[in-house]
Amino acid sequence: MTATAGPSNEHGHGTEPSATFTTLYGAEPHGVWAAPGRVNLIGEYTDFNDGFVMPLALPHTARAAVAPRTDGVLRLYSTDVPGGVVSLRVDELAPHSGHGWAAYPAGVVWALRAAGHPVTGADIALTSTVPTGAGLSSSAALETVTALALDDLFHLGLSGPELAVIGRRAENDFVGVPCGIMDQMASACCTEGHALHLDTRDLTLRQVPFDLAAQGLTLLVVDTRVKHALGDGAYAERRAGCEEGARLLGIPTLRDLPYGDLPRALATLAGAGADESVVRYVRHVVTDNQRVEQVIALLDAGEVRAAGPVLNEGHRSLRDDLRVSCPELDLAVAAAQEAGALGARMTGGGFGGSAIVLAEAAEADAVAGAVTKAFAAAGHAAPGIFAAVPSAGARRLG
Ligand code: ADP
Ligand code: MG
């Protein structure tokens, strides 16, 4: 397809990190690893409620050329940010101590060491084709590629879910971003041609076949290229509201509310004097968990097209109940729907970032064109649009 791809979408053509490594550090790396960004098909704001999510890995990856060190020195470099090599000592790493972008890989080293793993230093050169801040998990890609490389080099023998837990710990406790486990699990555990059904309560997972091409379908990602400042506070507020809802209902998490009990639970909340926002948040989380199960059943039955209306309903719920959408996301979704898409919804945390659009492959260009035209007509900068081909999770490249 001929979408409006910007430089960030030229996946697979980023700077080769081995050459960068050698130039910087004057030696050969011991290996090169890759970990992808992700897009979530369905199940939003469910992962901190012990619920279900269903991400797929993108072809866009973070790649790391790495060599281990034994002297406690950690050197980090990214081709994608200015500022040169960041040099740290592993025994001086402390949560919330800054370091800008380098806090993501440094946090992984800190989390591994905090878990008792003997990581004694490393030289790392990173490069990534995952668009940053677009809700496509460039941060988790960075964490996961670092964790996998160190796991290999220090022979730690960690599983994909264990690497994901390390990555989340780095992001939550070292960088200080309160994300759930979905992003790191997707980057570590997704496989080509599949979406990942993840139960965030116990990290059990299933690879659900999602062969779009064989079905004559395309899943577009529309990066709105906006990120509204509102996002951070709103995430914390939604999270607190969900916890309040569970507390008032006397259940550990919203995951523990059976779908059939939702109407009665909403009445209970209203009767208990819950804020009307809490009622809406509970309705979103419980129905979105249900939508994950609906989509899985449809994919298993080979009825991918029928997932379209479920995506549409997911957007309505995020827009009206959780209220985490924004004008640009609503416009992308509406324009795609009007242009004949099978389904569309915002994906990720909202307040900007990306939307996904399920369309007939033969109509994908027309749908992408309609979205781009609608953005121009509304005076927005052109969105970045590309096809999300379900790709491999973290792996060693060489
Ligand atoms: P998202 O994960 O949705 O892309 P985040 O705000 O969680 O957005 O993470 C983006 C941050 O991750 C960037 O601001 C930067 O600090 C870091 N990051 C991502 N990719 C890279 C990269 N290639 N090089 C350096 N830092 C990166
Ligand atoms: Mg992130």
Does the CB atom of residue 80 touch ligand 1 within 6 A?
A: yes
Does the CB atom of residue 133 touch ligand 1 within 6 A?
A: yes
Domain layout of the chain by residue ranges: 16-209, 213-387
Q: What's the rounded Cα separation, in Å, for the pair 40 and 52?
A: 11
Q: Please tell me the predicted confidence (pLDDT) of residue 180.
A: 86
Binding residues for ATP: 78, 133-139
Q: What's the rounded Cα separation, in Å, for the pair 304 and 309?
A: 11
SS3 326: coil
Two tokens, residue 129: 């084709």
Two tokens, residue 290: 């249900």
232 alpha carbon, closest ligand: 1
Q: What's the rounded Cα separation, in Å, for the pair 327 and 355?
A: 12
DSSP 263-322: HHHHHHHHHTT--HHHHHHHHHHHHHHHHHHHHHHHHHTT-GGGGHHHHHHHHHIIIIII
Binding residues for Mg(2+): 139, 171
Q: Which residues are catalytic?
A: 183
Most ligand 1 atoms within 8 A of CB, residue of 76, 138, 142, 351 to mutate: 138
Crossing angle (nearest 10°) for helices 262-271 and 231-249: 90
**Nearest residue by C-alpha to atom 12 in ligand 1:** 139
Question: pTM value?
Answer: 0.94
Q: Please tell me the predicted confidence (pLDDT) of residue 12.
A: 43
- Which CA distances in Å does 166 have to 112, 143, 205, 348? 6, 8, 18, 21
Two tokens, residue 164: 């994901």
Q: What is the pLDDT along the chain (398 residues), one digit of tens a residue?
A: 333 333 333 344 445 899 999 999 999 999 999 999 999 999 999 998 999 999 999 999 999 999 999 999 999 999 999 999 999 999 999 999 999 999 999 999 999 999 999 999 999 999 999 999 899 999 999 999 999 999 999 999 999 999 999 999 999 999 998 888 999 999 999 999 999 999 999 999 999 999 899 999 999 999 999 988 777 789 889 999 999 999 999 999 999 999 999 999 999 999 999 999 999 999 999 999 999 999 999 999 999 999 999 999 999 999 999 999 999 999 999 999 999 999 999 999 999 999 999 999 999 999 999 999 999 999 999 999 999 999 999 999 99
- CATH number for the domain formed by residue range(s) 213-387: 3.30.70.890
Q: Which residues pair with 66 in a beta bridge?
A: 31, 124
Give the residue among 102, 187, 183, 99 at the shortest CA–CA distance from 148: 187
Does the CB atom of residue 170 touch ligand 1 within 6 A?
A: no
Residues with CB under 5 A from ligand 2 (ion): 139
- CATH top-level class for 16-209? alpha beta
Burial letters 99-125, b for 16+ CB under 10 A, else e: bebbbbbbbbbbbbebeebebbbbbbb
Binding residues for substrate: 44-47, 235
Q: Do β-strands 73-78 and 122-128 pair in parallel, antiparallel, or remain unpaired?
A: parallel
Tokens 């796991």: give the residue. 151
Q: Which residues pair with 73 in a beta bridge?
A: 89
Does the CB atom of residue 20 touch ligand 1 within 6 A?
A: no
CA angle 358, 359, 360 (to 5 degrees): 140
349 alpha carbon, closest ligand: 1
Q: Which residues pair with 122 in a beta bridge?
A: 68, 74
**Nearest residue by C-alpha to atom 8 in ligand 1:** 133
